[in-house]
Amino acid sequence: MSNQQFTPGGPGQGGGLTYKDAGVNTKEGERAVALMKQHVKKTFDRNVLTGLGSFGSLYKLPMEGIVEPVLVSGTDGVGTKLKLAFMMNRHETVGIDCVAMCVNDILCQGAKPLFFLDYVATGKVSAEKISDIVGGVTEGCLQAGCALVGGETAEMPGFYQDGEYDMAGFCVGLVDRNKIITGEKIKPGDVIVGLASSGLHSNGYSLARKLFFDKLGFGVNHYLEELDETIGEALLRPTKIYAKACEAIFKDYDIHGMAHITGGGFFENVPRILPDGLGAAFLSATWPMPEIFNLIQTHGNIEKREMFSTFNMGIGLMMVVDAEDGEALIADLEAAGEAAYLIGEIVTSEKRVLLDEY
């Protein structure tokens, strides 16, 4: 769906084979577009210069207060979390995950999200299902404060199993060059503030599914007292989007570095922002860890380092600031609606994560 269109296009002619005979139902694709339009237009702002249906999407850069504009882009998908959506036949939240994975990445450079595009590929288009998926993307864009300006729905018979699909997204944001967050300012003694996650977010699902469904034999509707919900509900919970909290604090704080804790957990993501000669030391007792991680570690007999190398462990985003700014930043993040904790500090070391080592 180029600018929320459906491809590929039209049916054959005459009495011969048609595209529908080959498994592509263009009429259902058109109906999907009609249903999703009700969602997409909710995200439009005054900078969106095209409606739905053009070949490309036009967006006017909001230049107020910007001296040297820099575009920041990010792309990502939802990974095998989609398997949970298939198993539960619930498709209205994975779009939020798709937006979150892209938006949270560009926030780490200090960018304000401007617009988003999605891509959904499936073996057979179901208009209602596609509408649910794009409805989730719309909700994610509303949470992020960006416009959903276009996308693509591809019907690919024979390529995906019945009822399954894949999706990805692409986000563009804007930052003034002198406000780009690079990690270069990080120094010894800086503190690390962690923003709470809502659970697994969109990473570690291959391990989680193997544990809960293969090893333990649970179904998605298996209720766990420790979680006070079913395992399916816990695992399908959408990824948090931190855009509004970041917008609230970026203007008041000199953020030295930010890390989005996605695939690779602490051990892969944090070193990406560290200058040479500096390490990040964490005390895992300084934040409340969601029970889902304790269950995974206990039932899977998983080593601590493996857990912190695979999952976010309750921290979805990290900010590095001067030590004297730590407590005030936490208070302002909480005022913006996010739970935040002082979880570590920057130390002189090789570029690595030190977990419970200081």
Lookup: tokens for 177: 């060059």
Identify the pLDDT of residue 30.
75
Identify the pLDDT of residue 145.
97
Burial category of 189 from C-beta neighbours within 10 Å (exposed 0-12, middle 13-18, buried 19 and up): exposed
- Asked if pLDDT for residue 80 goes beyond 90, the answer is yes
Mean pLDDT of 332-352: 97
- Tell me the percentage of the chain whose pLDDT exceeds 70: 92
Confidence of residue 5 (pLDDT cuts 50, 70, 90): low
* HSE-CB for 31 with a 13 A CA cutoff: 9
- Asked if pLDDT for residue 52 goes beyond 80, the answer is no
Identify the pLDDT of residue 335.
97
Q: What is the pLDDT of residues 259-281, one digit of tens each?
A: 999 999 999 999 999 999 999 99
Length of the chain: 358
Domains observed in the chain: 5-179 (3.30.1330.10), 191-355 (3.90.650.10)
Residue 217: count of CB within 10 angstroms of its CB: 8
Q: Any idea which of 126-135, 190-199, 272-281, 324-333 has the lowest mean pLDDT? A: 126-135
Cα(246)–Cα(145) distance, integer angstroms = 11
pTM flag (> 0.75): yes
Q: Any idea which of 12-21, 58-67, 114-123, 192-201 has the lowest mean pLDDT? A: 12-21
Averaged pLDDT score across all residues of the chain: 92
Instruction: With CA atoms as reference, report the closest residue to 89 among 227, 222, 220.
Output: 220
Identify the pLDDT of residue 77.
97
- Asked if pLDDT for residue 216 goes beyond 50, the answer is yes
In this structure, what DSSP letter does residue 211 have? Answer: I
- Asked if pLDDT for residue 21 goes beyond 90, the answer is no
Amino acid at 318: M
Confidence of residue 51 (pLDDT cuts 50, 70, 90): confident
Identify the pLDDT of residue 17.
62
Lookup: tokens for 291: 């029970």
- Asked if pLDDT for residue 2 goes beyond 70, the answer is no
- Burial of 152-172, coded b for 16+ CB within 10 Å and e otherwise, reads bbbbbeeebeeeebbbbbbbb
Dump strand ranges (E) for the chain.
5-7, 69-77, 112-122, 147-155, 165-176, 191-196, 223-224, 229-230, 257-260, 278-282, 315-321, 340-348, 353-355
Cα(276)–Cα(80) distance, integer angstroms = 34
- Tell me the percentage of the chain whose pLDDT exceeds 90: 82
Higher pLDDT, 39 or 44: 44
- Asked if pLDDT for residue 170 goes beyond 60, the answer is yes
- Asked if pLDDT for residue 188 goes beyond 80, the answer is yes
Higher pLDDT, 300 or 25: 300
Identify the pLDDT of residue 190.
98
Mean pLDDT of 316-326: 98
